[in-house]
Amino acid sequence: MSDETPVCSAKGCRTDAVWVLAWNNPKLHTPERRKTWLACEEHREHLSQFLGVRGFLKDVVALDEWVPDPAAGR
């Protein structure tokens, strides 16, 4: 078990994350690449909209259900 609790990616927010936002910037990333942001309940919509209006948002998944892409490395 990890002792590091993932926290929300919103600026200044230290709340535990419950959502994973998967996104891709076609100008910077290959189409299969997924960057991820974490979001608490409060910031999920704000962050989704930020990515959504730019056309970057691919998926929003509950943190419990998020399976990191093994192809992404690490």
DSSP state string for 5-16: --B--STT--SB
Considering the complex, state which of residue 8 and residue 20 has its C-beta at the smaller distance from Zn ion.
8
Q: For Zn ion, which residue of 19, 21, 24, 43 counts as binding (CB under 5 A)?
A: 43
Classify residue 48 as exposed, middle or buried by CB count within 10 Å of its CB (0-12, 13-18, 19+).
Answer: middle
Closest approach of Zn ion to the CB of residue 63, in Å: 13
Scanning 14-22, 30-38, 49-57, 64-72 for contacts with Zn ion by CB under 5 A, the matching segment is 14-22
Residues that bind Zn ion (CB under 5 A): 8, 10, 13, 15, 40, 43
